[in-house]
Amino acid sequence: METLKHKKILLGITGGIAAYKSADLCRQLKTAGADVQVVLTTAAAEFITPLTMQALSGNPVHQHLLNPEAEAGMGHIELAKWADRVIIAPASADIIARLAAGMANDLLTTLCLATEAPIALAPAMNQAMWRDPRTQDNCARLESLGMTIWGPGVGDQACGDSGPGRMLEATELAQLIAATFDKGRLCGKKITITAGPTREAIDPVRYISNHSSGKMGYALAQAAVDAGAEVTLVSGPVNLPAPRGVDLRRCDSADAMLAACLAGVNECDIFIAAAAVADYRVADVANQKIKKSADKLTLELIRNPDILATVAAHPQRPFCVGFAAETEQVTKHARDKLQRKGLNLIIANDVSQPDIGFNSDDNAVTLIDQQGDLALGPAPKQQLARQLIDAIAQRYENNAS
């Protein structure tokens, strides 16, 4: 619990009988040296008083979004930025649904939308409400957005039922919160990740590109940051927010992406190429917009540099990880690529399957290296990214020892 010292914990409490356990959780966090700010929803205040939580946290309790007095003190955006972690305990079915829908209709939901801090929820509700497919779908949605669900425990419930839906005990939750501050296995390591498509100019207004969404690379970058790494994300044009805590370098063409990757190659420990780099670019990019006149237009294309192979051939090469998107003989083609590009590890995915891979939220992959094959997924890309980063870290450690 040493890791909780001076950490800023925003404790959100929603309406449920388990709210009484949150008083103890708050006390345990304070005893471990954390600074705690409490947010109560309207329903939570029916179960536990603001005065109790103020006395235990040593800070005024936050309850209302549109309160001029509170905004003059620590306003809601300031509070969202202040937090190192947001913990919602107990998390009712209602808050889970509202967060899954992206609502911002009270202080707690607004804070959760505004914060960049990791959010964890400890659900507590009647077993039938927990089992309801809508609650399950909402939880899956929150996890795919990178939030963590702790519990619920199984046992007797206040309503007389028995089953899943009990909030975890305060001691267990305090330990789980503390563990999120433990230095990750990639602490001190520098990782460069490429993501998204590249754009190859035809003229000042047109380009050649592809449908890569960048989701896998961005999820990997977030998982690597969460594992303690210092991450440079070299990204082609995508419609995704910058992952928390990464050094984001935006670029357009394969040439620009290569330059950005080579700039830090001497210091890089692990290189992960998740970008869908255009294989060809236009030989002579027109200075002016090409006018339509002839019925036929021929563009001469030339090969782009292979960014991954170039980094892998560098004298101070990092541990190199590539992706192989294949439609047939997936592992065979991936293994060939592993050899040809001189990689340590390749992550193969079968893009002939409609629900996974390119431009989708889920993915399923096979890790291939000298040790053999390891299948992961299908799973949401965020979840898969955490598993991949763990597997990459393990192979990197084996390689270094």
Site string for ligand C5P, 293-312 (x = CB under 6 A): -----------x-xxx----
Out of 159, 187, 261, 320, which one is annotated catalytic? 159
Q: Which residues of 90-122 are buried (b: 16+ CB within 10 A; e: fewer)?
A: bbbbbbbbbbbeeebebbbbbbbebbebbbbbb
Among 37, 135, 194, 212, binds ligand C5P (CB under 6 A): 194
The CB-of-39 to ligand C5P minimum distance in angstroms stands at 42
| H-run or E-run covering 284 | none
Q: How far is Cα of residue 309 from the mean position of the Cα atoms in its chain?
A: 27
The CB-of-316 to ligand C5P minimum distance in angstroms stands at 18
In whole angstroms, give the CA distance from residue 152 to residue 168.
6
324 binds ligand C5P (CB under 6 A): yes
In whole angstroms, give the CA distance from residue 317 to residue 324.
20
Query: Is 159 one of the catalytic residues?
Result: yes
Amino acid 260 reads A
Among 151, 322, 357, 380, binds ligand C5P (CB under 6 A): 322
The strand pairing partners of 375, in sequence order, are 366
| Cβ–Cβ < 8 Å for 100, 136 | no
Q: Which is nearer to ligand C5P, 130 or 271 (CB)?
A: 271
The CB-of-364 to ligand C5P minimum distance in angstroms stands at 17
254 binds ligand C5P (CB under 6 A): yes
Number of residues that bind ligand C5P (CB under 6 A): 14
DSSP state at residue 3? G
330 binds ligand C5P (CB under 6 A): no
323 binds ligand C5P (CB under 6 A): yes
Q: Give ∠ CA 322-324-325 in degrees, rounded to 5.
A: 140
| Cβ–Cβ < 8 Å for 88, 117 | no
Q: Which is nearer to ligand C5P, 35 or 306 (CB)?
A: 306
Query: CB under 6 A: which stretch of 58-66, 165-173, 268-276, 291-299 binds ligand C5P?
Result: 268-276
The CB-of-399 to ligand C5P minimum distance in angstroms stands at 18
Q: Where are the alpha helices (DSSP H) in 285-380?
A: 307-312, 330-340
| Cβ–Cβ < 8 Å for 62, 70 | yes
In whole angstroms, give the CA distance from residue 225 to residue 166.
31
Tokens 């294309």 appear where?
A: 301
277 binds ligand C5P (CB under 6 A): yes
Among 273, 282, 345, 368, binds ligand C5P (CB under 6 A): 273
The CB-of-336 to ligand C5P minimum distance in angstroms stands at 10
Q: Give the residue from 261, 354, 380 showing the smallest Cα distance to 310.
A: 261
Helix (H/G/I), strand (E/B), else coil: 369: strand
Among 120, 202, 275, 376, binds ligand C5P (CB under 6 A): 275
The CB-of-205 to ligand C5P minimum distance in angstroms stands at 24
Which residues participate in catalysis according to the annotation?
159
Query: Where on the chain is the footprint of ligand C5P (CB under 6 A)?
Result: 194, 254, 273-275, 277, 304, 306-308, 322-324, 337
